[in-house]
Structure 1
């Protein structure tokens, strides 16, 4: 395997720069995330399909739950592998490996002649998707400007849900117009197409500059920064950005701030709070899953048919339109996450989702014709508000707040926890729906209500802050800060000589200049320090 970061200037399509390059990165990674949504949705539309059930030996509810949920165990394994090897392979190579595994797993599922072959295919595809979902948000976050980071990742998450929507309607079309095993083999096989798109486009795109700097590939990192910003490689912004990244990397590697300690989950006395930051990502994923979304996505047809009493065809139609509602909900956050910030979006979503889930729980418990139609409206509202809030933010937030030297672990921990929590929910789903369905929805309602105080007291705002700046927010700032207070506090600290102060910036600049054999003058050093501080405050937006 060639060195992941070498020869950036010799890559095909190295002429892509600036906004065009950022959108190419987003679209390439979006194909893999489309696969993420498609994989979750495609089986959900087949769980009541007769030919699929016959091919799988007419599995019991528990066995059907295992076929669906084993994918999550594979994805959890993939997230663990990303945590172990992510810093060694780099972001791009990890995604390549993930796409290869998804292609192999998809082929096994499409050709399955038994439960065991289907289970093996879902495990392999799950491992690949676990690697991808742990790595892609980090890659996008590390290549995006602070004010575009949230919208770019939110765009990806919207594409995830579009994949889910596409899978449900493809299932419906195949069931209606095809016959025999083709009704389920074709939809399952199509997942390989999305993996191959990413696999064949990512070699033409750059590695994360932060990863390149962390590996000592300074020249490659400089070139990628220049391409991402569409500036000359000797532009002051390149050197100031590099100085900021290396200075923060030095802070993260120093003293008690280096590494993780499980004792620090509840109280983290270290400077930059790495354990607490990673656990915040894990908790967001826990609350996302146990708001009820995993059960709704995997068993939407069963939900409408068993819980609300609709026939097979009407249940399939309601499922398809419901996924469209979920996708519509993911469009506003592309703008909202930067306009109003992560905290406000999560707070609004928690309140509206709780109201919707409580209403749905009551309708399932009452179980009559009127309550069935009210239940449909409630689950549609829940899906829309989930897409608006808790769908994008738990994927945007963890790679933002994780320290550079632990960002691959932070992404893997939050993603891995999402998969293991989803496994529990999905595995228990069929049995719970058949036994006491309202009880599970009641648990989801309680978890969604709990999210309100959790977000208010535990989640700092990250809107508009650079990834390096967030180290200083966690270093000194209180946990509960609004976006405006964060900005005001940072500007005050810059004015007072705090934050990434002149001494720290100057040390980083001198270190780089000495390594490059360049002469430092007071004027050039001062200019680069100012550039660095402008980058961190977000005042400079090329």
Structure 2
């Protein structure tokens, strides 16, 4: 139970501390890529041979994160958003310490696996935590998008740390960069201890008094205030709407959805949107940035420098999303950025596929893979992590968040492990798969992802629901509560293709 609160507003504190956890994902994704081919690191790992060893070290934590995401789908609701984040940060501290002290491949993999389990908890829960802490629909998108600045910023920070430390030729050159991830976890975990869980989680667990207290704290109004009471009734009505579902969700609905609220379809979309994000090649680009530039024909020093610059521009792309996501809409950003990514990847593949590339071709390839990362940072990071949790019903939101994280980590493992081997064995041809995935993302968004911009989490239920649910008394009550809270009139139920 939560017994106190920090002096600062909880929602502001949450928007600072919870994303710190997400920075761990970005930092851990980038930090190994900059040191894994250095002489001190390979010496500590006893100079492993075989094409699979380094990719396995890099990708072992992604496989662990995928397994943990499935675990969160089962225990996320009873544990709660806050406890999942605390558990994740604790595991990262242990795993990061083991990695920084590693003297063998097996010890490094054990540390990566423990760290991956922590990242699994964090990535499955952080977007849900932030989305449920938002009281206004227009703030949810910017808040979660800002979280992803930390994610990609962590990756860019990792490459600059690597670039600086690898100028040295000793064990400090890789142990300090890898050990720094524990600092993020300590700061985030310590801060989250001061926060409550989300009000929506308390209401979903029938802990109404605690949920009401958190709403009062977030609004900075008394419990009896009309705005607090109206928000409570909106959430309660949404829960009743879920509970009256005549054809309730079961796991078979993930394959053939017959539920009235289309829970299975919504969980599928959450899984597929982050799976597709990985198939489009971003983690392959992040993990093997230096390898990519060296295969283009650049020197080791220039490859490391450009890797740091590219990942900085990747992070820069995320900065623009919080200010534009509500103006342009989730669907438009995903669709049009996928078009841009397809063009960039086509030019990149065209340049690197040449048997004897000229200097101009080399730098054209560099330019367009950098632009690709910038566009990806803007369009396919923040929106994807937001979309899955926000379209899931309250009592299944932990499953929606976990399904998205599972898709992210499963295909991250496939692309990082298999992609690392493919880069060595077949070179540029692996990027053809990424090019096709970028192209496939356009029709996926067009046909599968309705617009959710400007709608509360409770209203989104009605976008996906069957017509019988939209016509029900509880749906009318939900509309009335939402209008009263927002001071609006008119219908909010739109007939949308899902």
Shorter-chain TM-score tier: over 0.9
Contact 2:253 2:263 in 1 (8 A): no
For 1:480-499, what aligned pairs fall within 5 Å after superposition? Answer: none
Aligned to 1:303: 292
Post-superposition offset of 1:347: 1.0
Matching residue of 1:196? 186
Q: Match of 2:24? A: 35
| Equivalent position of 1:337 in the other structure | 325
Q: Is the 8 A contact 1:209 1:221 kept in 2?
A: yes
Matched, 1:531 2:484: yes
Deviates more, 1:341-350 or 1:56-65: 56-65
After TM superposition, the score normalised by the length of structure 2 is: 0.93
Counterpart mapping for 1:435-474 below 5 A: 435-474=425-464
Question: How many angstroms apart in 1 are the aligned matches of 2:253 and 2:196?
Answer: 38
Return the match for 1:500 from 455, 460, 475.
475
The CA deviation at 1:530 is: 5.7
Q: CA deviation at 1:501?
A: 1.2
What is the CA–CA distance in structure 1 between the aligned matches of 2:428 and 2:303, rounded to whole Å? 19
In 2, Cα distance between equivalents of 1:114 and 1:192: 20
**Separation in structure 2 between the aligned mates of residue 155 and residue 87 of structure 1, nearest angstrom:** 25
Of the candidates 62, 74, 83, which is equivalent to residue 84 of structure 1?
74
SS of the counterpart of 1:161?
Answer: helix
Quote the Cα distance in structure 2 between the aligned partners of 1:215 and 1:476. 26
Q: Kindly tell me: are residues 275 and 407 of structure 1, through their superposed partners in 2, closer, same or farther at Cα, counting changes over 3 Å?
A: same
Aligned to 1:168: 159
Q: 324-333 vs 243-252, which deviates more?
A: 243-252
**Partner residue of 2:495?**
none
Report SS of the residue matched to 1:408.
helix
Secondary structure of 2:190's counterpart equals helix
Q: TM-score, normalised by structure 1?
A: 0.86
Q: What is the CA distance between 1:77 and its match in structure 2? A: 2.1
In 2, distance between residues paired with 1:207 and 1:33? 17
2:129 aligns with one of 111, 130, 139? 139
- Residue 328 of structure 1 corresponds to 316
Q: Superposed, which structure 2 residues align to 1:377-526 within 5 Å?
A: 377-476=367-466, 500-502=475-477
Distance in 2, Cα, partners of 1:328 & 1:538: 39
The whole-number CA distance in structure 2 between the counterparts of 1:98 and 1:535 is 40
Distance 1:409 1:263 in 2: 13
User: What 5-or-longer segments of structure 2 have no aligned partner?
Assistant: 493-498
| Superposed displacement of residue 283, structure 1 | 0.9
Check the 8 A contact 2:479/2:491 in 1, yes or no: no
Task: Check if 1:23 corresponds to 2:16.
Answer: no
* Count of aligned residue pairs for this structure pair: 487
Could you tell me which residue of structure 2 aligns to residue 74 of structure 1? 64
Cα pair distance change 1:475/1:187, threshold 3 Å: same
Q: Secondary structure at the match of 2:193?
A: helix
CA contact (8 A) 1:464 1:538 kept: no
Counterpart pick for 2:348 among 356, 360, 366:
360
CA distance in 2, matches of 1:30, 1:538: 35
* Long gaps (5+) in structure 1: 1-5, 478-492, 507-527
Distance 1:221 1:452 in 2: 40
Structure 1 residues 529 and 317, CA gap change in structure 2 (3 angstroms): closer
Larger radius of gyration: 1
Deviations 1:352-408, CA, capped at 9 Å, x for gaps: 000001111111111513221110011011001001100111101011001111111
SS at structure 2 position matched to 1:219: helix
Q: How far apart are 1:264 and its partner, in Å?
A: 4.8
- Give distance in 2, aligned partners of 1:288 and 1:245: 31
Deviation at 1:227, TM superposition (A): 1.4
Give the direction of change, closer, same or farther, for the CA distance of 1:530–1:115 in structure 2 (3 Å limit). closer
Alpha carbon RMSD of aligned pairs, Å? Answer: 2.2
- 1:263 is displaced (CA, Å) by 4.7
Conservation of the 8 A alpha-carbon contact between 2:39 and 2:169: no
Residue in 1 aligned with 2:264? 275
Superposition deviation, residue 498 in structure 1: 7.4
- With over 3 angstroms needed to count, the CA separation of the structure-2 counterparts of 1:499 and 1:250, relative to structure 1, is closer
Post-superposition Cα deviations, 1:57-104, rounded to whole Å, max 9, x if no partner, equal 323321111000101011112212221211111111111111110000
**2:155 is equivalent to residue 180 of structure 1:** no
Post-superposition offset of 1:256: 4.2
The runs of at least 4 aligned residues of structure 1 exceeding 6 Å deviation read 496-499, 535-539
Report matched runs for 1:83-122 at 5 Å. Answer: 83-122=73-112
1:313 pairs with one of 301, 314, 335: 301
Partner SS state of residue 330, structure 1: helix
Q: CA 1:218/1:99 → structure 2, altered by over 3 Å: closer, same or farther? A: same
Distance 1:375 1:498, change over 3 A: farther
| 1:271-320 deviation digits (Å, cap 9, x = unpaired) | 110000010011111110011101101110111112x0111100000001
- Please report how far the alpha carbon of residue 531 of structure 1 lies from its aligned counterpart in structure 2 after TM superposition: 2.4
Distance 1:114 1:408, change over 3 A: same
Q: How far is 1:121 from its partner?
A: 0.1
8 Å CA contact retained: 1:251, 1:257: no
When residues 244 and 535 of structure 1 are mapped into structure 2, their CA distance, relative to the original with a 3 A threshold, is: farther
CA gap 1:538/1:107 in 2 versus in 1, 3 angstroms: farther
| SS, match of residue 366 in structure 1 | coil
Alpha carbons 2:56, 2:417 under 8 Å: kept: yes
For the residue of structure 2 that corresponds to 1:129, the secondary structure is helix
